Structure 1
Amino acid sequence: MGNGTIQPKHWRGVRQKMSIPPGAETRRPRPLVIPIKWYPSDQPWIKVNTDGAYTETSRKAGGGGVVRDASGKLLIAFATPLQAKSALEAELMAMFHGLELAKEFGKPVWIESDSEQVVKLAMGKKWGPAHVHQAVAQLVVARRHHNSRVTFISQEGNKAADLFAKEGLEREAF
């Protein structure tokens, strides 16, 4: 075994507890395909999809979103630059802007985000990292003053908001 080669004599006295059939194949996991689709809200709710974007290299942040009624009709869309120091803060600020715009329609607001962490922070159960405390507080207070709910949606179902968030990176004003 000096040269690193294992030979049959090295296996003397070793017995296998199980036999492996010849030609056995390992099964690969099959990809699970689930169609992702955006669904309109129930009456009388209006739905707001928001997203935030942040680029580390330029330290620019943007937010965007869409507000739709229960039939799926677009009520308003927005893209805005943000003064954020992280992607998390940009997501929170975009959600706040979306809520403020949707409140103008005078109906309960259902907010969807593709960030599970933002959804948890918006529920007011945790404060998150120190640099986002102000954004979390602002969002929680705004939610308390209006009938709203917050849920998670996958990135595939939030593409419109993602498009506007990226547009917000390039904008100079709301």
Structure 2
Amino acid sequence: MQESVAVVVFPPIGTEKWVPPDEGWVKINVDGAVSRYESRAGCGGVIRDRSGEWVAGFTHFLGSCSVFQAEEWAILKGLSLAWDLGLRRIILESDAKEVLDMLDDDRMGSRGDLLYWSIKDLMSRGWELKFQFAPRDRNVVADTLAKQGLSSSAFLDTCPDYLRTLVSNEMMGLIPLL
């Protein structure tokens, strides 16, 4: 039974810091990455609670694919992880506006690829989902995890040491030069 699914693409709201979800919700930030120099792609993401505490994260090596597909994979992996963890009130943020727009377009019909249909299948499950656009400077942790995915796959049940400062800085709006 489907409770509520909404794909909402918001423009930047004038803040560059990570914005926590409402009480009872978690936020997933995802990103895809493709190496300019090698035919490798990866994706990554992080799930955080209202206080910004790390719930889980992932990196995933994809092999060779397009940037668009890497972004689709990131959304699929992020939603799958949330579902597997029993999380049912999700805000998913991505800097891939084209992918978010595609997911909001019910006219895709047979034009959607396998990843599109896999994401749509997950969206139809019994949970509350909101999709939001997050500019790249509010998605730095996910971007870093996606770049890790260029060479490895991992489930991260705790925040890795190399990300602790970045997670804190992103929450405070202290964004590194990208």
Name the TM-score, length of structure 1 as normaliser: 0.73
Partner of 2:140: 159
The correspondence for 1:141, drawn from 94, 107, 121, is 121
Partner of 1:69: 49
Larger-Rg structure: 1
In 2, are the aligned partners of 1:50 and 1:66 still within 8 Å (CA)? yes
Q: Would you say 1:102 and 2:82 are equivalent positions?
A: yes
Alpha-carbon displacement from aligned partner over 1:11-34 (angstroms, at most 9, x marks no partner) = xxxxxxxxxxxxxxxxxxxxxxx5
The correspondence for 1:113, drawn from 90, 94, 104, is 94
Partner of 2:60: 80
Structure with more relative contact order (C-alpha pairs < 8 Å, separation 6 or more): 2
- Give the Cα–Cα distance (whole angstroms) in 2 for the partners of residues 93 and 161 of structure 1: 13
The alpha-carbon deviation at position 107 of structure 1 amounts to 2.7
Name the TM-score, length of structure 2 as normaliser: 0.71
Aligned-partner SS, 1:166: helix
In 1, are the aligned partners of 2:39 and 2:63 still within 8 Å (CA)? no
Aligned-partner SS, 1:170: coil
- Give the Cα–Cα distance (whole angstroms) in 1 for the partners of residues 65 and 138 of structure 2: 26
- Give the Cα–Cα distance (whole angstroms) in 2 for the partners of residues 142 and 111 of structure 1: 13
Alpha-carbon displacement from aligned partner over 1:134-157 (angstroms, at most 9, x marks no partner) = 111110110111321111000000
Partner of 1:170: 151
Partner of 1:9: none
Runs (4 or more) in structure 1 with deviation over 3 Å come to: 124-128
- Give the Cα–Cα distance (whole angstroms) in 1 for the partners of residues 129 and 93 of structure 2: 11
In 2, are the aligned partners of 1:44 and 1:107 still within 8 Å (CA)? no
- Structure 2 unaligned residues grouped into runs of 5+: 1-13, 155-178
The alpha-carbon deviation at position 124 of structure 1 amounts to 4.3
Provide the aligned length of Structure 1 versus Structure 2: 139
Gap change, CA 1:46 and 1:35, over 3 Å in 2: closer
- Give the Cα–Cα distance (whole angstroms) in 2 for the partners of residues 84 and 44 of structure 1: 37
Partner of 1:14: none
Aligned-partner SS, 2:149: helix
Aligned-partner SS, 1:82: strand
- Give the Cα–Cα distance (whole angstroms) in 2 for the partners of residues 150 and 35 of structure 1: 18
In 2, are the aligned partners of 1:45 and 1:108 still within 8 Å (CA)? yes
The alpha-carbon deviation at position 113 of structure 1 amounts to 0.2
Whose strand proportion is higher, 1 or 2?
2
In 1, are the aligned partners of 2:94 and 2:133 still within 8 Å (CA)? yes
Alpha-carbon displacement from aligned partner over 1:68-126 (angstroms, at most 9, x marks no partner) = 01121110111110145200000011111011111223331110000111111233435
